[in-house]
Structure 1
Amino acid sequence: MTWDVALILGIDGLANGAVYLLAGLGLVLIFSVTRVVFVPFGDVAAFAALTLAAFETGRTPPTIGLVLTLALLATLTEVGSLVRRGEYARIPKAVLAWGLVPAVPCLLAWLAARAGMPAVLQIAASVLLVVPIAPLLARVVFQPIADASVLVLLIVSLALHFLLSGLGLLFFGPEGSRTQPLASGMLTLGDGFTVSGQVILMVTSALVLSGLFFLVFERTVAGKALRATAVNRVGARLVGIRPARTAMLAYGCASLLAGLIGILIAPVTTMYYDSGFIIGLKAFVAAIIGGLVSYPMTAVGALAVGLVESFASFWSGALKDVIVFSLLIPVLMLRSFLAAHVEEDEEELDQ
């Protein structure tokens, strides 16, 4: 391997790491607030990419039907819960929040497809269209079992991924799609080495969004509410913060990140209805490196995963995923070694 090849692989690794960084931040955000390992995160990103591809081909995005279906299920779930508790006065508000509000981006996307909007508006419509997906899924699936164990939530999340894959096949079909590049041109470095505008856009977007993520957490009331819920749910509830509401905010922010990820990767890889699983799984590796709690360590882990994947693809394209996922083994062993283990008393074991 020459230095030129290593530099090319390093740039590609940074681009991949930028995507995994954003995905890892979304996974850590949801887990820290709700204790849910949100496996379908990558599916939301894939749906955003397929939505933009549908716009570019002049078709009405099938995502509209998917979102409306989820909105109907969420509305029925919320209304049923209110009826069981006898809170009939809150039913109109529930229908508005879970039925009509998610329909607004669907209407905007339908109008954008009909009118042949510019590319910028198509991108905005694609992102907005997938933002309600995670909150709607959370209301239907996770909120009723919010107090379950982490293992149960993980199993349900994994089952939800397979359900979304089936819905993706139903709505989008088996064909793959790739969108037009978001940025053209090249940046020439020393000795004639060039970096594509798409790669620069991916890395820059990751840096900017990470910075905005930090500012939201540090400077806004909503960000502080998310941090408080992540640190201590009971304490947050005692000071007037509703964990259920912050959970929905976390799902919404993560869904927004997933939509942006889908837009960024759509021009560089062919996306299928089930392409999101591998993206989410590699982001999960990065999140595990960060312990599912540390955002800076998750960022470091994402860059490590991206670089390892890039160099592994050079050595063996067939084994690159195996090499990436093998990173989990030493990380888990190290965390197990460093973690404080509490021995139970013999009496407790007998009981």
Structure 2
Amino acid sequence: MGIEIRVDGLKKAFGRQTIWEDVSFTIPAGEISALLGPSGTGKSVFLKNLVGLLRPDRGHVYVGGRDVPRLRENELYDLRRQFGVLFQDGALFGSMNIYDNIAFPLREHTRKGEAEIKRIVLEKMEMVGLTGAEDKLPGEISGGMKKRAGLARALVLDPEIILADEPDSGLDPVRTAYLNQLFVDLNTDLGATFLIVTHDIGTARVLPDNLGLLFRRGLVMFGPREMVLSSTHPAVNQFFNARRQGPIGMAEEKDQAQLDDEGDAPPAMPAPIQPQLMPSDGRTRPGMRRPGQWLHEHGVTAPPGSFIDDEGRNWLTDWDRLTTGGHRPR
């Protein structure tokens, strides 16, 4: 279920501008991973390298063992069918209704008849909560519905990898929460590998199994959610806790004079680690880890107040009770 993505020594530049260099990490199969970073660090460019729309200047991108930059066009075409992509703005065709937008990949890339296409489209629309919106045009629906329509279209070919580029961009916090829950439920049902590029710290803190941060033309850190959220690395601590103190500046990185002005104060304690989003039906996903598991295995103390949800339940001590016995975590 799902496909592993392994990146090795990746470098990409446009002219004299180096976007990132020597980036190496592995996105585990079947898990939800999120990639973050300040604006201009090449997150969207990274996604384009994964699907072969851009080729790196150096390095490898292995998708299920196949090195994407070395593939021929016909091989790339075959590989891309394993990806479903949710674009930042939904990328819907304005002249087509929602049904035809979602059916488009099936009509373009398969020989399925219209009866089979209808079955698949309606199934995916139901999965994302769009039943009854088939005849609406993109201009007649909300931003959140456009995102869900784009997600349904990304799912119609039953991809093993789902890429989402800023899926929460332009959404209010409530719609973002609904979309995050949808990602969790889809991962539970489909077992696909999810990679989500986002700026939203709230999403990053509760949704993924793994987190990564791009900064200074490289990958600062990538690994299990608890590892990243408990880190005192200056850039990681600053970004994931939305603080002004640290190496990230208003434009890009701060110069040494700015850092000197901030003094030698020790890094602030990371914020409490929130419980991870659970599937709506209370199941645990294969990629989920027991709360505090990574911290315990590596001798790291959780920030005070970690793993307490909005109802005051302690997921660190009550995990077994909260995930069994008919109780449905929310």
- When the two structures are superposed, what TM-score results if normalisation uses the length of structure 1? 0.28
The structure, 1 or 2, with the larger RCO (C-alpha pairs under 8 Å, 6+ apart) is 1
TM-score, normalised to structure 2, is: 0.30
Whose strand proportion is higher, 1 or 2? 2
